[in-house]
Chain A
Amino acid sequence: MAGAHSDPLTHPEVAQGGVLRYIAGFISTTALMGAALVVTLRHDQPYETYLGLVGGLALLALVSQAVLYYGLDISRSQIWKSVALMLTMPLFIITVGLTVWMFQSLDQRTMLMPQTMEQPTLLQ
């Protein structure tokens, strides 16, 4: 294959990378994920706030990883990878979406509140 024995440093994907960008990507993702951990450990917010907060931090971490670490953009050498990342979005939406739907229904059906449990049911 072409490029197999030429200088690896001239390969467009390798040329994309840079020490500063790697370090920035590493630090920013670690910091964002660390922040999510710290926020969660504090136990002082309502459930919905956590969902938004942690979800938002995760999204930022993902973006900083994609942009800084992997250098994804729409240039010729990277477009394939950017498109591939986009193509996983439907899977993400399917799995997370269906999971949310399932748990929402499961909760209503199995996590019965005390007052409903006190009401007479057909069996009584």
Chain B
Amino acid sequence: MQAQLPGPWSPLLGRLTLDQIPYQVPILQWTFAGVVVIGLAVVFCVLYFRKAGYLWREWLTTVDHKKIGVMYIVVGLVMLFRGFVDGLMMRTQQVLANGPNAPGIMGAQHGFLPPYHFDQVYSAHGTIMILFAATPILTGFQNIVVPLQIGARDMAFPYMNALSLWLTTAGAALVMLSLFVGDFSAAGWVGLIPLTELPFSPGTGVDYWMWAIQISSVGTTLNAINMITTIVEMRAPGMSWFRLPVFSWTTLSSNIIALTAFPVLGVALALLGADRYLGAHFFTAGNGGNLMLYTNLFWIWGHPEVYFLILPVFGILSEVVPTFSEKPLFGYVTMVAATFAIAGISWLVWLHHFFTMGAGPDINGFFSVATMLVGIPTGVKVFNWAFTLYRGRIHFSVPMLWALFGLFLLLAGGLTGMMLALPAINYTVHDSVFLVAHFHCMVLLVVAAAFAGVTYWFPKLFGFKLDEGWGKAFFWVFTLGTVITFAAMFALGFEGETRRLDWTFDPAWKPMLIVEEFGIMLYVVSIVCFVIMLAVSIRDRAKTRLAQPWPTARTLEWLTHTPVPFYNFAVTPQVNMRDELAWRREHGLDQAKPDRYEAIHMPSNSALPVIIGALAGVWGFAMIWRIWWLAGLSLAGIIVCVIIRSFDKNEGYYLQPEEIEAMETNLAIGAIIAEQPDRSHSSIPAEAH
């Protein structure tokens, strides 16, 4: 019952043939050259400094939540850059290809990207930014911060944590691979139906999109289970629910959303897969299929997904604002309640993404009202932050600047969201760039919070601060770029520009398109500032080494040493108050040392997660190209790995009191970038039982 395939297929290579490698496209030649050069440079550095063993033992096989979090964020930042380049190409194409007489180069009638290539660029941009940039970056912060904030040694399931990371990475790798082998989907990040059906997208682009998301969302779902279990089960003694820091609360709610929403996406994509691979008719126009069913399923996931992204962002703001206002967060209980109200409502509003489908006034009315209800808890939050700032002693450090800009974006994005939530308005601006500007305010709020988080928590992990001067330069250039680009985009929306145009036919749009291009150029400059900031900070790290980088921080993660030792807390803390560190500081207890240490049980590293991740990537590749033997083989490999794991008798090791004492006095030995001796044979000490 396999679907009728257009084009050749061979048992050995499936649909893969030599002309699937786009070596004749100049942009891709340059990209490929760039990737090869950077790749070789990285490999050379690793070998030259003899770090291959270190990389394998301390990072690739690690189960430490902080290192996994760092790797999540690195993957996310790399993908953020890739997604940004896509954005840059789209902006440039739209300004070059303006008006009927716009010239064209490199095979394009107008501008430099032919429509088919342009369509892939925006599809990749959306998919990457939401699923492979924003999601991993936020997951990374949750990984790093939540166990520290609740006083835990690690996540509830450290091994599964590594597995989640490598599954997400496998998905990201498939998206990157589509640049050089075959195509990416040209059907938008939402998978516009019926365009994603085999007759209309006969290539492998949609398959890349589908399997990359499918594999990485298994990782996200596993991570959600891990986060929920960690917060429910692993809190330190005294960390009762209403002492839980707000970032942990938002992580909990956000992962409840992930756990309940991602399966819907999995089902939607699996049904699409059945259509494309088995010749089923779930979403076809004829033979009993129903196109709208796909759109409906996609947004049942899609809307909760955007709140999955925004809730941890609210959590980051709720940590940063009090720290740099020298005040406790205003209205903690209402903040928590608002978080869960938002999560609950996020399940009731998905139809606002397709008001124009024509389901009728009752239905559009219901979903419109439900959507606007979200404004109430969100308003509660905004006022809470405002009251926290009110009469606070405000420090305009880099994280605080990002948080304040985030509040501005929330206002702009939230109010335009309210406009879109009115069906009468929505009918006129749906699928215009006004909508695109709305959600970019929101997702740039995610980016702003991500950079607030990077600058705020970086010293916790690495022991030194990021350079304030370059950090501020980065902030201001980025902010200016954002305001200029998206103010112009709102205007273009009102001028009637629809989204996803490879050719901007109306010459009246020219001025605003030029403004947008100018804005995006500022982003380019801001990236340079970011890189300089990193370089300068690493160069001057000895000068900015501080025991307490933010003396006004309030939550438990700042109670451990900076840089944080790989075992987090030498002694599990006893929690007495909501803002535990602030309370201890007030009572002069924040520097107290325990009188003796006890052995700590630690999980051992494992190579299985990274191997399973790699096999999942191979499996995805084989499914995309329909190389059945390879798919079968890699699936069998994954099953073998799982079986090996279940017979693994390695139950971790014990860190002895003397070692802990040494690391507590000399923090450099225990820091996460330090190389650890092999402790896998440390036997279980008698007193641990």
Contact = CB atoms under 8 A, between A and B. Distances in A.
B360 A106 contact: yes
Contact of B296 (A4, A88, A99): A99
A77 interface: no
Contact of A106 (B260, B359, B652): B359
B359 A88 contact: no
Contacts of A5: 601, 651-652, 684, 688
Contact of B348 (A94, A105, A106, A110): A94
Given A5-B652, A106-B359, A106-B360, A95 B292 contact: no
Nearest to A103: B292
Contacts of A110: 358
B389 interface: no
B357 A95 contact: no
A103 B359 CA distance: 7
What is the predominant secondary structure among interface residues of chain A facing chain B? helix
B351 interface: yes
A1 B260 contact: no
Nearest to B232: A80
Contacts of A88: 260
Classify chain B's interface size: 20 to 34
A102 interface: yes
Interface in B330-359: 347-348, 351, 357-359
B358 A106 contact: yes
B513 interface: no
Interface string A47-79: 000000000000000000000000000000000
Nearest to B1: A41
B366 to A, nearest CB: 8
A105 B363 contact: yes
A66 to B, nearest CB: 15
A25 to B, nearest CB: 18
A15 interface: no
Contact of A109 (B290, B347, B351, B360): B360
Interface string A3-27: 0110000000000000000000000
Nearest to A110: B358
A101 B363 CA distance: 8
Interface in A82-124: 88, 91, 94-95, 98-99, 101-103, 105-106, 108-110
B19 interface: no
Interface in B277-312: 290, 292-293, 296, 300
B595 interface: no
B234 interface: yes
Given A91-B347, A94-B348, A1 B359 contact: no
B362 interface: yes
Contacts of A103: 290, 292-293, 296
Contact of A4 (B260, B264, B601): B601
Contacts of B362: 105
Given A5-B651, A95-B300, A103-B292, A109 B601 contact: no
B359 A105 contact: yes
A1 B652 CA distance: 13
A5 B603 CA distance: 10
Contact of B351 (A1, A91, A102): A102
B363 A102 contact: yes
Contact of B358 (A98, A101, A109): A109
A99 B363 CA distance: 10
A102 B347 contact: no
Nearest to B688: A5
Contact of B347 (A1, A94, A106): A94
A106 B356 CA distance: 11
A108 B293 CA distance: 16
A109 B362 CA distance: 12
Contacts of A108: 360
Contacts of A105: 359-360, 362-363
B347 A95 contact: yes
Nearest to B296: A99
B449 to A, nearest CB: 27
Interface in B671-689: 684, 688
B359 A102 contact: yes
Interface in B224-260: 233-234, 260
28 contacts: A1-B233, A4-B601, A4-B651, A5-B601, A5-B652, A5-B684, A88-B260, A91-B260, A91-B347, A94-B347, A95-B347, A98-B351, A98-B366, A99-B296, A99-B300, A102-B363, A103-B290, A103-B292, A103-B293, A105-B359, A105-B360, A105-B363, A106-B292, A106-B357, A106-B358, A106-B359, A106-B360, A109-B358
The 4 A-B pairs of least Cβ separation, nearest first, read A105-B360, A106-B359, A102-B359, A105-B359
Interface of A: 1, 4-5, 88, 91, 94-95, 98-99, 101-103, 105-106, 108-110
Given A5-B684, A91-B347, A102-B363, 19 more contacts: A1-B233, A1-B234, A4-B601, A4-B652, A91-B260, A94-B348, A98-B351, A99-B296, A99-B300, A101-B363, A102-B359, A103-B292, A105-B359, A105-B362, A105-B363, A106-B357, A106-B358, A106-B359, A109-B358
